[in-house]
Structure 1
Amino acid sequence: MSQIKFPKAVLWDMDGTLINSEPYWLLSESNLASDYGKSWTQEHGHELIGKSLYDSSAILKERLNIQDLSVQEVIDRLTNEVISKLQGALPWRPGALEALMMLRQAGVKTALVTMSMRRMALAVVDQIPFEAFDVVVAGDDVNLGKPHPEPYLKAAQLLGLEASDCVAIEDSVTGLRSAEAAGCIPVGVPNLMELPETGRRVILPSLVGLDLKWLESLA
C-alpha cells in the first residue's frame, strides 16, 4: 500500500529525464547524416527531442534525402547505436535512481512512458537493480506519440488509474504537452532545453532531493 494519498502513480519519461541518453541520440543522428554527406547540428537534434521515433526518423529521412532506407530502418539503425552505448552503465540523471527507489519503497506505482522502442526501453529497465516499473509504454506500443496524450492515457489505463491521479515527469515541452493533454500533473526537469512554467506545469531544477511530501503537495 502506498504511503501517500497522492499521486497514485508517477509516470516517467526516459531519454533526458531518467537517463542522459540524448547525447547518444545526437551522435547516432550525426553519424547517419555523415554517411549521406550531410551535417547534423546540435540544434537539429534538439528539434527532435520528445518526438516519437517515427516522426523523428521521418524528419531525418526527408532532411537527409535518404532514399535507400525506410523510416523503420532508420529507427532500427538509431536504436541499435544508442542501445550499444547504454550497455554496461546507464548515465543516470542526478537524483533519478534515488527518486525511483524512493517511490518503490513507498509503494507508489510507476510507469515508464517513452517514445523509444520497447526493446530499448527494456534494455534500460533490465539494467536497473530493482523492479522499477509496474508498466512500460514505448513508442511502438501506441498509434500516436507525444505530444498526443495517448502514451500517458495508456500508461494510466494499464495501471488501472485516471490520468488525473498521476504525476508525469518530463524533460521536453513535447512530453509535457502529452502529459497535460492526458490530464496528468506535469513536472518538468530541464536537461538540454528550457521549459516554460505555464498552467499547472511545475518546473524542478533537478530530481535531487525529490521527496514524497513535495509530490503529495501537488494534489
Structure 2
Amino acid sequence: MTSSAPAAVLWDMDGTLVDTEPFWMAAETPLVERFGGTWTHAQALGMVGLALEDSARLLQNAGVPWGVDEIIAHLTDEVLRQLAVHGVPFRPGAREMLADLRRAGVRTALVTMSMRRMALSIVDLIDFPAFDVVVAGDDVERPKPHPDPYLQAAQSLGVDIASAVAIEDSPNGLRSAIASGAVTLGVPLMVSLDGVGAHALWPTLEGRGAADLAALHAEHAPTLTDVSNPQEKR
C-alpha cells in the first residue's frame, strides 16, 4: 500500500458488513405484538443504528414489560436463530473489500453495537481471519453516536483515529465515526445518510477495494498542520 493508505479500516456490522436489519425487524414486531402492541415499519426504521439499550427502551414504550437486558437477550437470540437458518447475508462487495484489505496488510476492526456473542458468531462464519479487533455494544460504556466505540477500536489497534477510515450505514453510526475523527464513508441501506456529514457516500461497496479506500483517506485525512495546530481551523 502507498503512504496515503489508511492505517486501519473500522467496520460497522449490521447493515454495513451484513444485511441483518430485516432480522432485527422480524424479531421486534412479534415481541411487541405478543403484549398487545403494534410496531410499524417506520418505528422499526427509527431503530436502525441505535444502541441496543436505547432500542430496548423504545420497545418498552411500545408495551413490552421486560427489562432492558431481557429484551436485548431475546432480540439477540432471535437474530442468531435467523442467521442459523438463513446464513450470513453479506452486503454486496463487503466481504470482497474486507478480503482485499487483509491482502493489502491493512488492519481492521469490527465496531458494532450488537452484543459481542453475536459479533463473534458472525466473525466465525467468515472463511478468513477478517478482523484484528472486535468492539461490541457490551464492551463500551457510551455507545454510538458517542465516539467512544471507534476511539476504543483505534486504541486497541494502536493507530491514530485520524489515520483510519470508518464505514457505516446509519446516521447514528456515522455521527459516532465523525465525532471520533476518522475519515468516514457512508454506504446507505435502509435510511438516507444525506446531510449527516460523511466525507463520502457510496451507493455500494461492490467493485471497490483497498485502493479506493486509500484514495478516500488521502483526499480527506487531516494534514499534519491540521492535527498539530487545530486552532488554525475554524
Indicate whether the TM-score tops 0.5: yes
Q: Aligned partners of 1:106 and 1:31: how far apart in 2?
A: 44
Q: Aligned partners of 2:34 and 2:198: how far apart in 1?
A: 43
1:34 Cα deviation from its structure 2 partner: 1.1
Give 1:22's aligned amino acid: E
Partner of 1:129: 127
Give 1:62's aligned amino acid: N
Is the partner of 1:87 in helix, strand or coil? helix
Within-5 A mapping of 1:2-81: 3-5=1-3, 6-64=5-63, 66-67=64-65, 69-81=66-78
Give 1:154's aligned amino acid: Q
1:214 Cα deviation from its structure 2 partner: 1.9
Match of 2:88 among 90, 99, 103: 90
Q: Aligned partners of 1:38 and 1:8: how far apart in 2?
A: 47
Post-superposition Cα deviations, 1:67-91, rounded to whole Å, max 9, x if no partner, equal: 3x21000000000000111126211
Give 1:76's aligned amino acid: A
Give 2:71's aligned amino acid: V
Do 1:4 and 1:212's aligned partners in 2 also have CA atoms closer than 8 Å? Answer: no
Partner of 1:139: 137
The percent identity for this pair of structures is 50
Post-superposition Cα deviations, 1:123-173, rounded to whole Å, max 9, x if no partner, equal: 100100010000000000000110000000000000001111100000001
Partner of 2:100: 102
Post-superposition Cα deviations, 1:152-210, rounded to whole Å, max 9, x if no partner, equal: 00000000011111000000010000000000011000100111155452100100011
Bigger mean CA offset, 108-117 vs 205-214? 205-214
Q: Aligned partners of 1:197 and 1:158: how far apart in 2?
A: 30
Q: Aligned partners of 1:13 and 1:199: how far apart in 2?
A: 17
Is the partner of 2:120 in helix, strand or coil? helix
Structure 2: state its 5+ residue gaps: 219-234
TM-score between both structures, scaled by the size of structure 1 = 0.95
Give yes or no for the alignment of 1:120 onto 2:111: no
Q: Aligned partners of 2:121 and 2:133: how far apart in 1?
A: 14
Q: Give the paired residue count.
A: 215
Structure 1: state its 5+ residue gaps: none
Q: CA RMSD in A?
A: 1.2
1:59 Cα deviation from its structure 2 partner: 1.4
Do 1:197 and 1:203's aligned partners in 2 also have CA atoms closer than 8 Å? Answer: no
TM-score between both structures, scaled by the size of structure 2 = 0.89
Give 2:36's aligned amino acid: G
Is the partner of 1:217 in helix, strand or coil? helix
Match of 1:169 among 167, 170, 194: 167
1:217 Cα deviation from its structure 2 partner: 1.6
Do 1:7 and 1:215's aligned partners in 2 also have CA atoms closer than 8 Å? Answer: yes
Judged with a 3 Å threshold, the aligned counterparts in structure 2 of structure 1 residues 74 and 198 are, in CA distance, closer, same or farther, namely closer
Q: Aligned partners of 1:100 and 1:155: how far apart in 2?
A: 17
1:31 Cα deviation from its structure 2 partner: 1.2
Q: Which has the larger radius of gyration?
A: 2
Give 1:55's aligned amino acid: D
